[in-house]
Amino acid sequence: MKLTLKIWRQKNAKNKGKIVEYPIDGISPDMSFLEMLDVLNQKLITAGEDPVAFDHDCREGICGSCSLYINGEAHGPDRRVTTCQLHMRKFKDGDTIFIEPFRANSFPVIKDLIVDRSAFDRIQHAGGFISVNTSGNTQDGNAIPISKHAADEAMDAATCIGCGACVATCKNSSAMLFVGAKVSQYALLPQGQVEATDRVQNMVAQMDLEGFGNCTNTGACEVECPKGISLENIARMNRELIKANLKG
Amino acid sequence: MSGFLKSSIGRKIAMALSAFFLMFFILQHFAINILSVFNPDAFNEVSHFMGTNPLVQFVLQPILIFGVVFHFVMGFVLEFKNRASRSVSYAVNNGSANSTWMSRNMIYSGGFILIFLVIHFIDFWIPELNVKYFVGDTSGLLADGSDYRYFEELQHKFVPLWRVTLYCIGFIFLALHLLHGFNSAFQSVGGNNKYTKSLNNIGKAYAVLIPLGFIVIALFHFFNNSH
């Protein structure tokens, strides 16, 4: 395949970036998108140029490291996949592909296509956990009766890999799908009840502090989420916050 | 509670609650206006009641004005905040791949509804306030005292083509706003469950039928009286 890549290049956080055009040839339709970028980088390195910086780790679609806004969509045109699982067969020979970093003020660009998503970590630290005494007398989780429905819904929420596609896609740069999933995975389980009030209040407060925008229910996040996290989780977070505020 | 209203979700819920109130108001407004097509006498009676009843005038009307102003002001505040959260935009953004035009352009449909409302207030509400509270005529009667004035005033307003056209366009924007807004309000207050699918259909029906009904009323009077 012969392609024209238009890639966002930015030396560092302070530098002003721009789109740079790279023609590339000899791309196999069976390559993953990141393998295609590897080919480009190898060429750039050989030519003595600075390779394109992009995030990646597991390349199995489960770590949440890879990102990229490809032709106007987070993780590209395919559904329910991360960029590492997107294959070049989704594009046509001769295509022009725009590759940009996830954009939000809360996700500042570090270099080229790499953005700082530590805002998500800080939201998690604010309440995305349960406190368990692990002194040796810990109760076996399987001993606590949980309905199949609740367990399934909690598991669905917990599949969020925190990649930030929801923020990148949202026209408001809202993080509510991520926070909704993290609140939900505990709100649905008995283990999450003890800290439920503080959790939702603290996580929402941290989310606001990080400067994410406000959800207007466009539903774009749900469509672009590589894990198919549902808008139900945002509704549940809203209910949890109402409940928490009524409790005081 | 003030802290709750400062939070992103608190504001979202407040927007939804004001939307519920406004959607209920539009429904009752439509129910009264459609009487002008089928039964002008009943339209006159109800209009006189709504225009002179102290509970409607001094309790419900101020709540309505607060609801309208709150919904618009909060809508603009949130829009500015949201736009400010992404200072560098994408070179290519394929919004239509994942969301509806209506959901992405609520600020524009809402903005046009605001323009329409200003004209609507100048047309109906300000003259009504003037007659009742400045001239001091609360009789609701025509100058010759033969009948109530409300139906005749309504007919008179829908004679100029420019106003009928503007009203129709205003209601088209209302429909576009409601096509996203109705269900969005339920989602905002946490209502996403097994009834959501049915509710979506009710929302679509409401969003299309009510504005269409208002358009029918405007066209009915336009064609019936001036041509």
Question: What is the distance in angstroms between the Cα of A39 and the nearest Cα belonging to chain B?
Answer: 24
Residue B222 to chain A, least CA–CA distance (Å): 37
For A213, the closest of B82, B93, B99 (CB atoms) is B82
- Quick check: is B158 in a domain? yes
User: Does residue B143 belong to any structural domain of this protein?
Assistant: yes
CATH number of the CATH domain containing B15? 1.20.1300.10
**Residue B131 belongs to some domain of the structure:** yes
Flag whether residue B160 sits within 8 Å of chain A, measured between CB atoms. Answer: no
Question: What is the average pLDDT value for chain B, to the nearest integer?
Answer: 94
Is CATH 3.10.50.40 the classification given to domain A3-111?
A: no
The answer to whether the Cβ–Cβ distance between B95 and A171 falls below 8 Å is yes
Confidence of residue A139 (pLDDT cuts 50, 70, 90): confident
Tell me if A34 sits within 8 A of A84, measured CB to CB. yes
pLDDT category, B145, cuts 50, 70, 90?
A: confident
Q: How confident is the model at residue A128 (pLDDT cuts 50, 70, 90)?
A: very high
Q: Is A241's CB within 8 Å of B87's CB?
A: no
Torsion of CA B205, A221, A187, B6, to 10 degrees: -80
pLDDT score of B227 more than 80: no
Which residue segment(s) compose the domain that B142 sits in? 11-83+99-225
What residue in B sits closest to A213 (Cα-Cα)? Answer: B82
A236 has a pLDDT exceeding 60: yes
Instruction: Map tokens 């949980």 to a residue.
Output: A146
User: Is residue A107 within 8 Å of B88, Cβ to Cβ?
Assistant: no
Residues in chain A: 248
Higher pLDDT, B45 or A142: B45
Q: Is residue B2 part of a domain?
A: no
Asked if B200 has any chain A CB less than 8 Å from its own CB, the reply is no
A117-247: CATH topology: Fumarate Reductase Iron-sulfur Protein; Chain B, domain 2 (1.10.1060)
* Residue B4 forms contact with A (CB below 8 Å): yes
d(CA B128, CA B6): 37
Residues 6 or more apart whose CB falls under 8 angstroms from that of B37 comprise B216, B217, B220
B167 lies in a domain?
yes
How far does the CA of residue A187 sit from the closest CA of chain B (Å)? 14
Q: Which of A6, A73, A236 sits opposite B94 (nearest CB)?
A: A73
Residues of chain A with CATH 3.10.20.30: 3-111
What was the pLDDT predicted at B225?
A: 81
pLDDT confidence of B19, banded at 50, 70, 90?
A: very high
User: Which residue of B1, B104, B188 is in closest CB contact with A218?
Assistant: B104
| Residue of B85, B88, B189 with shortest CB distance to A172 | B85
CA distances (Å), origin A227, targets A62, A89, A155, B219: 9, 21, 11, 49
pLDDT of residue A247: 87
Could you give the CA distance from residue A33 to residue A54 in angstroms, rounded to a whole number?
A: 12
Residues A40-64: pLDDT tens digits?
Answer: 999 999 999 999 999 999 999 999 9
Q: Is B94 part of a structural domain of the chain?
A: no
Q: State the pLDDT confidence band at A151, using cuts at 50, 70 and 90.
A: very high
The two tokens of residue B227 are 């041509």
Residue B167 one-letter amino acid: Y
Q: What is the pLDDT of residue A36?
A: 98
Contact between A181 and A237 (Cβ < 8 Å): no
Domains in chain B: how many in total?
1
Per-residue pLDDT tens for B30-58?
Answer: 999 999 999 999 999 999 999 999 999 99
Q: Which of B166, B177, B61 is CA-nearest to residue B111? A: B177
Residue B135 touches chain A, beta carbons under 8 Å = no
Percent of chain B whose predicted confidence (pLDDT) is above 90: 85
Residue A44: alpha-carbon gap to chain centroid: 28
Mean pLDDT of chain A: 96
Q: What is the pLDDT of residue A84?
A: 98
Q: By CA distance, what is A230's nearest residue in B? A: B192
Chain B residues lying within 8 Å of A104, measured CB to CB? 85-86
Q: Is B2 on the interface with A (CB under 8 A)?
A: no
Contact B9/A6, CB-based, under 8 Å?
no
Which residues in chain A have their CB less than 8 angstroms from residue B10's CB? 241, 245
Interface contact A174-B97, CB threshold 8 A: no
Whether residues B90 and A72 touch (CB distance < 8 A) is answered with: yes
Size of interface A-B (CB pairs under 8 A): 130
